[in-house]
Amino acid sequence: MPTRHIYRDDSYVKEFKSRIISITDKGVILDQTAFHPESGGVATDTGYLEAGGRRYRVLRAIHDRESDEVYHVLESYEGLSPGQEVFGAIDWERRYRLMRLHTAAHIISAIMYRDHGALITGGQVEPEYARDDFSIERFDRQIFDDVIRKANEVVRSGLELKIYYMPREEALRIPGITKLAEKMPPSYRVLRIVEIPGVDIQADGGPHVRNTREIGEIRLLKVENRGRNKKRIYYTVD
């Protein structure tokens, strides 16, 4: 059985118990994990595993899109073996900022798509800030100031997010189910859907906050002209 990704059902699980399935040159595979790997443009979780009275630092988690496995890269593997029970804990402060920025990114991309027909051509969410590239020709900071203002109105409205699963073919018939210009969701038969009612609906596998109000205040940091049809914004949450 593939690893169970705990964060897909509950992004607020900070600690968990698991069992080692295998140890490979890529890292440790567990039967379930709360560690979100580097994927979908969202940075990896960090934290630690405990086993046999020892604590092992998790430096990063890597996602294999084909197998859907998560490899936990540790600072040391000495003393670990398949079948061993482990206790895991994520760095919650880091994770929670990633959640807030990730949900903010969905709101921003939805407004850019709705108001300007712009798709995401690249992006990354780190704990300190996020950046997104949009397929828009006109370079005007006022466009992005306006988008951030509208995004903060959504944040303050306190919308409860909905997370559910849908057959792939059915999901792909929904307009705007992906806001990525050149990338489709993984070829899974069932897709995880993240919906911000009245604002956005996207196929997405990462952790999010429960309520938009948890995001805080979205603050635009910088706007860059990266060429024709590519405008980049940097933003954070306070």
Whether residues 109 and 197 share a domain: the answer is: yes
Look at residue 66 in the predicted model and tell me its pLDDT. Answer: 85
Look at residue 183 in the predicted model and tell me its pLDDT. Answer: 58
Look at residue 65 in the predicted model and tell me its pLDDT. Answer: 85
Query: What's the CATH code of the domain at 102?
Result: 3.30.980.10
Domain boundary among 90, 106, 125: 90
Whether residues 153 and 202 share a domain: the answer is: yes
**DSSP output for the chain:** -PPEEHHHH-TT--EEEEEEEEE-SS-EEESEE-PPPBBTTBPPP-EEEEETTEEEEEEEEEE-TTT--EEEEES--TT--TT-EEEEEE-HHHHHHHHHHHHHHHHHHHHHHHHH---EEEEEE-SS-EEEEE--S---HHHHHHHHHHHHHHHHTTPBPEEEEEEHHHHTTSTTS--BSS-PPPS-SEEEEEEETTTEEEE--S---SBGGGG--EEEEEEEE-STT-EEEEEEE-
pLDDT for 1 beyond 80: no
Whether residues 128 and 204 share a domain: the answer is: yes
Average confidence (pLDDT) over 30-38? 97
pLDDT in tens, 144-198: 999 999 999 999 999 999 999 999 989 888 887 877 655 556 677 899 999 999 9
Q: Are strands 4-5 and 32-33 parallel, antiparallel or unpaired?
A: parallel
Look at residue 2 in the predicted model and tell me its pLDDT. Answer: 76
Whether residues 81 and 24 share a domain: the answer is: yes
Domain boundary among 70, 90, 110: 90
Pick 49 or 173 by higher pLDDT: 49
Whether residues 99 and 86 share a domain: the answer is: no
Look at residue 8 in the predicted model and tell me its pLDDT. Answer: 94
Whether residues 218 and 170 share a domain: the answer is: yes
With 0.85 as the threshold, say if the pTM is over it.
Answer: yes
Could you tell me the residue range of the domain that residue 41 belongs to? 4-90
Look at residue 47 in the predicted model and tell me its pLDDT. Answer: 98
Task: Please report which confidence band the pLDDT of residue 138 belongs to, taking 50, 70 and 90 as the band edges.
Answer: confident
Whether residues 43 and 80 share a domain: the answer is: yes
Task: Please report which confidence band the pLDDT of residue 222 belongs to, taking 50, 70 and 90 as the band edges.
Answer: very high
Domain boundary among 56, 71, 90: 90
Whether residues 182 and 109 share a domain: the answer is: yes
Whether residues 32 and 63 share a domain: the answer is: yes
Task: Please report which confidence band the pLDDT of residue 227 belongs to, taking 50, 70 and 90 as the band edges.
Answer: confident
Average confidence (pLDDT) over 31-36? 98
Whether residues 15 and 65 share a domain: the answer is: yes
Whether residues 137 and 59 share a domain: the answer is: no
Whether residues 128 and 30 share a domain: the answer is: no
User: Number of structural domains, the chain?
Assistant: 2
